[in-house]
Amino acid sequence: MKRPYIIINCAMSADGKIASSSGKQMRISSEEDIKRMYNLRNECDAVLVGINTVLNDNPKLTVKEKYVKRPKQPIRIVLDTYCKTPVNFLVVNNISKTFIITSEECNKNFGENVEIIRCKKDEYDFVDLEDFLEICSKKGIKKLMVEGGGKVIWNFLNSGFVDDFFIYIGPMIIGGKNTPTISGFFDKSIIIDLELIKAETLGPGILLHFRLIK
């Protein structure tokens, strides 16, 4: 199948948590890692999150001039099986184009810069990634950055549709039995083998660069 080059980028605590116990985004990355993230986002044609990230955090998914000179705003993509994205949220503002990927008929009026794209569902009731990635290729998206949350990251990893996997580990413990992690969505254990490409200190934390062993 034709698909974009896919980069997963995320930050987690030293105990593997990617958000607060309530699911809200919290700052784990250092200033150095935030700058790296924005520069990586600037290099991509599109940036992707799931609907839970949108509802919990209301992100813009843009590139800030503070970190990148002459930023090139990527297409923003929301995997939203049941079209729950609110029409007044930041991800559908007019700064950049947005794709809402859904399996449902959606009659919401998001404005001219938002395209609603219908896609198949998979066995877990998520957007079918193979169908979605073929659509991305047809739309001219060559490099896609996946930023989460945990369900989305795990679905890409489990499907094998990953070319680069970056994890920033922040110097903190968040705790909580049910606090979100990269791989905590499914009850059953699934082992995915990774090859470590590079490990480096970045600010007070560590940046790991992996690739999947296929």
pLDDT in tens, 155-193: 999 999 999 999 999 999 999 988 989 876 666 678 899
Report, as an integer, the average pLDDT of 24-53: 96
Q: Write down the H helix ranges in the chain.
A: 31-43, 51-57, 129-138, 150-159
pLDDT of residue 187: 62
pLDDT of residue 185: 64
Give the CATH number of the domain where residue 36 resides. Answer: 3.40.430.10
Picking from 110, 97, 93, 81, the residue whose alpha carbon sits closest to that of residue 140 is 97
Count up the domains in the chain and report the number: 1
Query: Is residue 194 over pLDDT 90?
Result: yes
Query: Is residue 78 over pLDDT 80?
Result: yes
> At 120, is the pLDDT very low, low, confident or very high (cuts 50, 70, 90)?
very high
> At 72, is the pLDDT very low, low, confident or very high (cuts 50, 70, 90)?
very high
pLDDT of residue 182: 86
pLDDT of residue 191: 87
Report, as an integer, the average pLDDT of 139-166: 95
Least confident window among 28-42, 83-97, 128-142, 185-199: 185-199
pLDDT of residue 105: 87
pLDDT of residue 213: 92
pLDDT of residue 138: 96
Domain boundaries, position 199? 5-212
Q: What is the 3-class SS of 43-101, one letter each residue?
A: HCCEEEEEHHHHHHHCCCCCCCCCCCCCCCCCEEEEECCCCCCCCCCHHHCCCCCEEEE
